[in-house]
Amino acid sequence: MTSLDDLPIRDDLRGREPYGAPQRTVKVALNVNENSHGVPEDVAHDIVRQVAEAILTIHRYPDREFTVLRERLAGYLGHGLSAANIWAANGSNEVTQQVLQAFGGPGRSVLGFPPTYSMHSILAGATGTEWVEGRRDEGFRISPETVVAEIDRTRPDIVFLCAPNNPTGTGVPLETIAAAYDAFDGMVFVDEAYAEFMPSGAPSALTLLPDRPRLMVSRTMSKAFAFAGARVGYLASDPAVADALRLVRLPYHLSALTQAAAIAALGHADEMLGMVEEIKVQRDRLMAELPGLGYSPWPSEANFVLFGGVADPHATWQHLLDHDVLVRDLGIPNTLRVSAGTESETTAFLAALSGADGALGARS
């Protein structure tokens, strides 16, 4: 039987591992930061109606420029943005890939700050872009001084900042983003997949876009909009960036059905985002209750919590799975990550964890 090693794949892909978050059928799935509240029924019906209308013209190619969707996304983001400032693709991962295809590639490098979203380095490798690692400050933070020092040390072509960071939930100050932009003449990519879960009034990197044509701010509908299965990600930037991404995108890359579904969901933004506050309550509950079980949660501005003090992460992960609760073991020593789910899901997780007997120093 032929194996991958028998095929003439690119040498730089040999030995690499694909993205591999476990997919298990469980009652409480809290491992990939989905919005477990789901789409409200009335919104779902409207989405189905608009998708059905799109099917009537499915024999034609979709709008290659996804004009209406870009207009609606610009309206949702605000900050004086127009359709010309918006790009969209099949999930923010495809947006990221297109950015690396346009601004990275062989002979170029991207600076990231692990621990961070694993797909950033995977996509770098897939596009032939060298992935270089920068250091973080204590508490997983990145100060302006640190980001400048790491740019000076590594001389990258692109800088990736995940804000809030996945998997730590750590925010990134606007001063750090601005300092990164001013430190070199390359592109700065800010992944704001969890922006809607930041503290009320916390400024977005979107506020930095004016007069910064090399800055890109990525968002997704997967999390706050409970649209993970629809695969819709988008980016705000100077219009010239969209022109660059047109050079590498596939023709008609956003299907008519995807466009229709996203437009319909954006029409119900207020109702969809009503779930965000409930999720933030459960996130804060996790941070408040985990110490009582002997664990050490990191402060989070996202819809998940990374917690330390886990004596044996794999054994604790398995214990939770045995109780029909799935969380994420990311390979960070003595830690696990849990998504903030519904109130009942959070209760089930905490109850299962309380019987794990896996906290460092929590029990004699």
Q: Residues 250, 285: one domain?
A: no
Q: How confident is the model at residue 363 (pLDDT cuts 50, 70, 90)?
A: very low
Q: Which CATH number do you get for residue 104? A: 3.40.640.10
Q: Is the pLDDT of residue 359 over 80?
A: no
Q: Is the pLDDT of residue 364 over 80?
A: no
pTM of the predicted model as reported, rounded to 2 decimal places: 0.95
Buried/exposed 10-42: b ≥16 CB within 10 Å, e otherwise: eeeeeeeeeeeeeeeeeebbbbbbbbbbebeee
Q: In the prediction, which pLDDT does 17 show?
A: 84
Rounded to an integer, what distance in angstroms lies between the CA atom of residue 289 and that of residue 350?
A: 8
- Range among 270-279, 314-323, 351-360 rated most confident: 314-323
Q: Residues 306, 258: one domain?
A: no
Q: Residues 254, 335: one domain?
A: no
Angle at 187 between CA 182 and CA 190, to 5 degrees: 90
- pLDDT digits 0-9 by tens, 164-215: 999 999 999 999 999 999 999 999 999 999 999 999 989 999 999 999 999 9
Q: Is the pLDDT of residue 355 over 80?
A: yes
The larger pLDDT score, comparing residue 27 to residue 358, is at 27
Domain carrying residue 28:
22-40+270-354
Structurally, the chain folds into a number of domains equal to 2
Does residue 117 sit within a domain? yes
Does residue 16 sit within a domain? no
Rounded to an integer, what distance in angstroms lies between the CA atom of residue 326 and that of residue 264?
A: 31
